Structure 1
Amino acid sequence: MRPHGENGKGGAGEQAQTLALMALGWTLSDGARADRLLALTGLDSQALRDGLDNGAVLGAVLGFLADHEPDLIVCAAELGVDPADLIAARRALGA
């Protein structure tokens, strides 16, 4: 499941945001992992909801995954992308 725009290409920022949102969904699908995300990023659930269109917040989610390689690898596999795509998305979001 690769993120893309209407024409299949989308801008790099749009693709990075879409991929980060997909990674966030995957992260939140497990309660313990979601709790760890909030604890390690300093975000709370309201800040997370409010930051869904904020590159810094989405970058923090990708940073959380990048800092724990087992989650990064499993998330990438579940999303059908390469782990390097998640790291590139983090950079594209300015994180």
Structure 2
Amino acid sequence: MTNAASMREEAEALAIRALGFVAADPELLPRFLAITGIEAHSIRRAAGEPGFLAGVLQFILAHEPTLLRAAEETGTPPAAVGKALRALPLGNDDHERSV
């Protein structure tokens, strides 16, 4: 259980760095907000919702050039982004969902 909790904490930290990357990019942020339907002033609140951090990583993974830039800027191997996604709630269909 500790290993799974540790993996989830690492995945959350990576997703938060990825969110910072998106938020700092004047082209990516509006696209992310449009796709998610979240308003800029609501990001902090939305970040606490189940599935939000997984959504950030899905957004990064959906476009290879964005993935490569995010990986470089956050010092993360690109493959670690997909692995982190799978460790987060709602990151894949097999993940245990909390109600």
TM-score interval, normalised by the smaller of the two chains = 0.7 to 0.9
Matched with 2:82 is 87
Q: Which runs of 5+ in 2 are unaligned?
A: 92-99
Worse-matched range after superposition: 17-26 or 34-43? 34-43
Q: Which runs of 5+ in 1 are unaligned?
A: 1-9
Matched with 2:13 is 18
Does residue 1:29 correspond to 2:11, yes or no? no
Does residue 1:77 correspond to 2:72, yes or no? yes
- Identify if the C-alpha distance between structure 1 residues 61 and 75 changes in structure 2 by more than 3 Å, giving closer, same or farther: same
Q: Distance in 2 between matches of 1:89 and 1:54?
A: 17
Worse-matched range after superposition: 53-62 or 25-34? 53-62
% identity of equivalent residues: 36
Point out 4+ residue stretches in structure 1 off by more than 4 angstroms: none
8 Å contact 1:16–1:89 — kept in the other structure? yes
TM-score w.r.t. length of structure 1: 0.81
- Figure out how many residues of one structure are paired with residues of the other and give that number: 86
Q: Distance in 2 between matches of 1:82 and 1:54?
A: 26
Structure 2 counterpart of 1:27, one-letter code: V
SS at the partner of 2:11?
Answer: helix
Q: Deviations over 1:7-54 (max 9, x none)?
A: xxx800100000000000011111221000011122222442113234
RMSD: 1.5
